[in-house]
Amino acid sequence: MSRTHSRYHHGDLARALVDTGERIAVEEGVTGLSVRRIAKELGVTPMAVYRHYPSADALLTVVAQRARERFARTLAARPGVGAGEPLARLRALGAAYVEVALEEPELFSVAFMPVSVGPPEPDSPSGWDLYREVLPASDGEELQAQFTFAWSAVHGLAVLLGAGRWTAEGRAARIASTLDLIETAIAHRAGIAPGGAADAAGADRTL
């Protein structure tokens, strides 16, 4: 116990546990992640871990959250995501989502690994934050519906491509056609023409 307290202040160990857990998971995969492994890496006892996190799942939940926030920051920095016409940004965000998932598969796997408890506070930033800025709906059920559709489509595509469901040669076409469908469906539902203006049929639609 004295060894643990001599090396870390209370908050320092809590942060170090998450930092180390994320590093192990990203470098070696989520199967190698455990409280015992993280504790050993830091030179502390498993009991020291449980002074900060009530269960293994509580710690892994925060590790996953850290990875999701890192994933979201990476998306936000990609070209076309942060500025421009909303539907163009929506397309850029979808493309970035798939690209980053394929470029950093370990990070993607950690970010969305299954956990049984929710994080103590919302992700910051989050994928929801990014999509909320580019989707045409106002707050409410319609915004949630558009977000669920757009996110599910690109996330599912990223998982399928990452699993090798299609050849590398066919990836670009799959990604483009999926982004076309997302953009067309969202624009139609919101009554927005491809150029960004509201069409006559959808101009009075309540979102």
* CATH classification at residue 35: 1.10.10.60
Q: Nearest-CA neighbor of 110 among 64, 49, 161?
A: 64
Q: Nearest-CA neighbor of 196 among 101, 90, 108?
A: 90
Count of structural domains within the chain: 2
136 and 192 both lie in a single domain: yes
164 alpha-carbon distance from chain centroid:
20
How far, CA to CA in Å, does 175 sit from each of 51, 72, 124, 156?
45, 19, 27, 11
113 and 33 both lie in a single domain: no
Task: Give the residue-averaged pLDDT of 100-126.
Answer: 93
10, pLDDT greater than 60: no
Residue 59 lies in a domain: no
Residue 83 lies in a domain: yes
103 and 49 both lie in a single domain: no
27 and 123 both lie in a single domain: no
- What the block records as the tokens of 205 is 């639609």
123 and 183 both lie in a single domain: yes
Q: List pLDDT tens digits, range 13-55.
A: 999 999 999 999 888 888 878 999 999 999 999 999 999 999 9
192 alpha-carbon distance from chain centroid:
27
Residue 15 lies in a domain: yes
Grade residue 11 by pLDDT with cuts at 50, 70 and 90. low
Q: Which residues pair with 198 in a beta bridge?
A: 192
68 and 127 both lie in a single domain: yes
Range of 49's domain?
1-53
Q: Nearest-CA neighbor of 171 among 119, 108, 106, 98?
A: 98
Residue 58 lies in a domain: no
